[in-house]
Amino acid sequence: MLTFLFVDEDPRSLAALRRLVRDLPGCKRFARGVAEALALVREEPPAVVVSSELLPDGDGLCLLEQVRARYPRTACALHTALPPRTPRARGITWMDRAAPPSELYALLRALGAGVVGSPA
């Protein structure tokens, strides 16, 4: 089953994401920090992880890099206002925090489809 994990310290942002993705197929999980997200990843590796950049207990980009290192087939996206300027962000998609909901929804569908459609 397709599983999404969304990580953001702001409960209002998580609520907005929850509303946005309610029609996406698959399981959706939500975390408010790095430690909680990593615990959820250990329980069940997600197909797609979306994280904000600034988290109360760490850095969202580092979280995504840890997930990709352990689960290279997991699609990862950084949900932030500015694209990451660091070369370590390779393999991690940028999601514009100011993008219209329809654009974010389309990107999430594409990320999920890419994981499901990738060869075993």
Q: Could you read off the pLDDT of 25-80 as tens digits, one per residue?
A: 999 999 999 999 999 999 999 999 999 999 999 999 999 999 999 999 999 999 99
Question: Three-state SS for 96?
Answer: strand
Residue 51 token pair: 């994280």
Give the pLDDT score at 86. Answer: 66
Q: What is the mean pLDDT of the chain?
A: 90
Is the pLDDT assigned to residue 116 strictly greater than 80?
no
> What DSSP designation does 56 have?
T
* Contact by Cβ (8 Å): 7, 61: no
29 forms bridges with which residues in the sheet?
5
Is the pLDDT assigned to residue 88 strictly greater than 70?
no
Pick from 61, 67, 62: nearest CA to 94: 61
